Copies of this chain bind each other. A is one copy, B any other.
Amino acid sequence: MSLRYALLGLLADEPASGYDLTRKFERALQRYAWHAQHSQIYPELGKLAADGLVEVIAEGARGRRTYAITEQGRTELRSWMLNPPDVFVVRHEFVLRLFLLSTLDPEDARAVLRPVAQESARELATLRESLDRAEATAPPGTELALGRLVAEYGLRSFQTMHDWALWALDRIDQVEAAKAARPAG
């Protein structure tokens, strides 16, 4: 069901074609929230149109169809946003690997964590830079670009991941040192 609302949400921001939406997923949503391929998006747009939640507002070259959200679609999206489930769907292969870290010996665990610490730091820097640029461009106190909220969340999440990776690396070293100190244990 989430795909349906992801599409409605993107179309609530601005009209787009299936092709556009496919790229939006790749650029914005895939890394943090949700992913979908065009083979899933096109049929779903068809269903949304059949249900009256979106409509074709323009047809262009190469069979391009631009969709826009309808009033009914906005109502439906709002209702979904205001009624969250008790338990959210979470599927995060990266975090899964973190959880299984203790199945590795300390050397392997470090080999997994080092790139994590590195890449989260790099991602962090990229995000912070593009955020600073956006901040500098827009005059202060203007319209709440809610994209600002999301960016901040991404920033904090990567910071947390980075800090945690460093903490875990340190922890592994400590346990190893303790083990070396009492070889009989």
Contact = CB atoms under 8 A, between A and B. Distances in A.
A82 to B, nearest CB: 6
A30 B91 CA distance: 8
Given A82-B108, A164-B156, A90 B88 contact: no
B29 A145 contact: no
* Copies of this chain in its oligomeric complex: 2
Contacts of A103: 9, 12-13, 74, 77-78, 81, 146
Given A78-B104, A78-B108, 11 more contacts: A2-B96, A13-B102, A31-B87, A32-B92, A84-B112, A95-B153, A102-B146, A144-B171, A149-B168, A149-B171, A152-B168
Interface of A: 2, 5-6, 9, 12-13, 28-35, 74, 77-78, 81-82, 84-85, 87-104, 106, 108-109, 111-112, 115, 141, 143-150, 152-153, 156-157, 159-160, 163-164, 167-168, 171-172, 174-175, 178
